[in-house]
Amino acid sequence: MEKWGTDVSRAAEALRKGQLVGIPTETVYGLAANALDSLAVARIFEAKNRPAFDPLIVHLARFEQVERYCRQVPPLAYRLAEVFCPGPLTFILPKKAIIPDLVSAGHSTVGIRVPNHPLSLQLLEALDFPLAAPSANPFGYVSPTTAQHVLQQLGDAVAYVLDGGPCSVGLESTIIDLSGGEPKVLRLGGLSLEALEAAVGQPLSVQTSSSNPRAPGMLVKHYAPRTPLLWQHEVTELPAGRIGYLRFSSPLPQVDPQHQWLLSPANSLPEAASKLFATLRLLDEMRYDWVLVEKFPETGLGLAINDRLTRAVQSRLP
Ligand code: TXA
Ligand code: MG
């Protein structure tokens, strides 16, 4: 029997047995398990080769369910949920004891998100437990944006992949910490900072770059394809070997067009974001010696795109 398809009841059955299932979301595909079952959650860490200090996001069918899993949910969380749930926003909130320590990596807080994908929402509604799900890639590699990406890299680890087509947003969720004190953004992602700040009603502090595992997953070296990436603007002399070019919308006139990948000829940042990870995978398949990347505009989703590219570039540095 095929290991992938659109059979929500088969996915639910596997999850009830404590197995892992690949799930589609609007951001990236997740590697899901029953969030209330430590043994099932342990399988996620094993499959991804993920360090246990890196906590997981818990996915809910509806934001109202947050009361079961979190304490001291501030009014701001409900306000933001009304605007952005379901959607690419993760809330860090104080957790209740029902969330296993393995999910939160020993922290007193947990990440909560309502994914905006009809198949996964249907799946979550069918289950009587929430789903812990990191991005469904081996630790440190580029996140998957199709069911095929999940099967290629984690096919042996999953009982099933629910195929919801290519992800529409293509970047991981934006993470906001509402666990106390001033709200802070811990990860730039599929919801733009501008949209989030407009809803919060004030500028937000952004604390994303840290190789300190307290803000796990925010490791400087992350999201790395195999091919070394260099910033185009930092290259003064071309390196030896075959070179591919990853660009926003316009080709370089002096370079063979067949080695230039434009993420959005129409100059749309959301379109570029949705194609970023799949294109990085494709560039790996092309077996270039180097990929030269253009810096994106520092606005809207361009901020999150530059964040991922920066980490990918830095992954190659000693
Ligand atoms: O879009 C997404 O968020 C995707 C889809 C599948 O929902 N998930 C995802 O999960 O990107 P993951 O595990 O690859 O990244 C989640 C990041 C972690 O690396 C960690 O930095 C942060 O969320 N995180 C989770 N719980 C946290 C907590 N309690 N405190 C601080 N950061 C937390
Ligand atoms: Mg990830």
Q: What angle do CA 30, 32, 36 make, to 5 degrees?
A: 140
Where do the H-state alpha helices sit in 17-93?
38-48, 66-69, 75-84
The candidate with the shortest Cα–Cα distance to 246, out of 294, 305, 302, is 294
Question: Which pair of structure tokens corresponds to residue 148?
Answer: 């095929």
DSSP state of 70: B
> Which residues line ion ligand 2, judged by CB < 5 Å?
135
Do strands 109-113 and 89-94 pair parallel, antiparallel, or not at all (unpaired)?
antiparallel
Question: Could you tell me the CA-to-CA distances from 69 to 36, 42, 119, 126, 257 in Å, in that order?
Answer: 10, 19, 23, 18, 52
Q: Which ligand is nearest to the CA of 173?
A: 1
Is the CB of residue 107 below 6 angstroms from any atom belonging to ligand 1? yes
**Residues 92, 186: Cα–Cα separation, whole Å:** 9
Closest ligand 1 atom to 216 CA:
21
The pLDDT, as a whole number, for residue 1 is: 81
Helix (H), strand (E) at residue 311: helix 302-314
The pLDDT, as a whole number, for residue 298 is: 97
Place of tokens 């920066």: 310
The pLDDT, as a whole number, for residue 306 is: 97
The pLDDT, as a whole number, for residue 218 is: 59
- State in Å: Cα 111 to ligand 1 middle: 7
Q: Is the dihedral of CA 231, 173, 45, 99 positive or negative?
A: positive
**Residues 269, 301: Cα–Cα separation, whole Å:** 6
The pLDDT, as a whole number, for residue 213 is: 47
**Residues 219, 308: Cα–Cα separation, whole Å:** 11
The pLDDT, as a whole number, for residue 220 is: 62
- State in Å: Cα 265 to ligand 1 middle: 31
pLDDT tens, per residue, the chain with 318 residues: 899 999 999 999 999 999 999 999 999 999 999 999 999 999 999 999 998 889 999 999 999 999 999 999 999 999 999 999 999 999 999 999 999 999 999 999 999 999 999 999 999 999 999 999 999 999 989 999 999 999 999 999 999 999 999 999 999 999 999 999 899 999 999 999 999 999 999 999 999 865 444 544 556 666 678 899 999 999 999 999 999 999 999 999 999 999 999 999 999 999 999 999 999 999 999 999 999 999 999 999 999 999 999 999 988 755
Question: Which pair of structure tokens corresponds to residue 130?
Answer: 């929430």
Residues 6+ apart with CB under 8 A from 13: none
